[in-house]
Amino acid sequence: MPVIITDKNYPISKYWLFKNISLVPRTVSFFLLLVFFLPALVIGANLWIIGLALFLSIFPVMVDILVIRLLKLSRFHFMLDESSITFGQGIISKNKLIVPYKDIHNINISQDLFDKFFKLSAITIEIGSRDPIWGGMDMDGRIWTGSYYPTYGRGLLGILIGLRAKLKRWELTEEALGFDGGNRVHIPALKKEDAEKLEGIIYREKN
């Protein structure tokens, strides 16, 4: 590869900021709508009170879009050279992943309804041949993957740990940006033609 290719050549669309808002802000905003906005409408409050209630209700989603997701997007980078792809991400601390082309098992291009409407595509790069790991390691050093999590009984601790595992998996699925400790790397919201070009470049270097 005579020229180094980066995310500047194949940028991620800003439309990604509004796609699949994270679970926690959505839940909080829905709760605030029920607690503040709907009662204000029912009692016929002044317009400025209704407006304030609406603003407070959607504030968590606004923070997620305009602060957290924007920072994540601005801090995610990738670079293709002659032997590997280097990914960088992280809001507070910078994390790096170097993937040699020979370790790439598969490349998938996908579109959902959101992507089709804005003529975008997402690339998922699978590393190695093992099953993807969506999870991490618990306090005893045991690994949880997918929907599995070590059993801690039926008490409150077991319920909280199970809920944490499900939320973590949901967040990883929704975020779909960069790498997450498993064997997949996601590059979302590329122009359809850019995704196809990038796929072709990676396959050429791999072969």
Q: What is the pTM of this model?
A: 0.73
If you ran DSSP here, which 8-state letter would residue 154 be given?
Answer: S
Distance from C-alpha of 62 to C-alpha of 183, rounded to nearest angstrom: 31
Out of 6-15, 49-58, 109-118, 161-170, pick the least confident: 161-170
Dihedral of alpha carbons 46, 47, 53, 56, sign: negative
**Which of 78, 121, 122, 68 is CA-nearest to residue 99?**
78
When pLDDT is averaged across residues 89-98 and rounded to a whole number, the result is 88
Torsion of Cα atoms, 84 then 174 then 68 then 94, to 10°: -30
Distance from C-alpha of 162 to C-alpha of 156, rounded to nearest angstrom: 10
Task: Give the phi and the psi of residue 25 in degrees, each rounded to 5.
Answer: -60, -40
Contact predicate 123/109, CB 8 Å:
yes
Out of 19-23, 34-38, 53-57, 174-178, pick the least confident: 174-178
Residues facing 135 on adjacent strands: 145
When pLDDT is averaged across residues 104-123 and rounded to a whole number, the result is 93
Distance from C-alpha of 205 to C-alpha of 33, rounded to nearest angstrom: 51
pLDDT at 133 over 80: no
pLDDT in tens, 142-164: 333 333 334 444 556 656 666 65
- How far lies 14's CA from each of 61, 71, 128, 137, 189, in Å? 16, 12, 30, 33, 8
What's the angle, vertex CA 24, arms to CA 21 and CA 27, rounded to 5?
90
pLDDT at 186 over 80: yes
Contact predicate 126/104, CB 8 Å:
yes
Q: What is the pLDDT of residue 116?
A: 92
pLDDT at 8 over 80: yes
**Which of 178, 19, 184 is CA-nearest to residue 108?**
184
Q: What is the pLDDT of residue 28?
A: 92
Q: What are the residue ranges spanned by the domains of the chain? A: 5-206
Q: What is the pLDDT of residue 152?
A: 41
Across all residues in the chain, what is the average pLDDT? 81
Residue in the block written with tokens 């359809």: 192
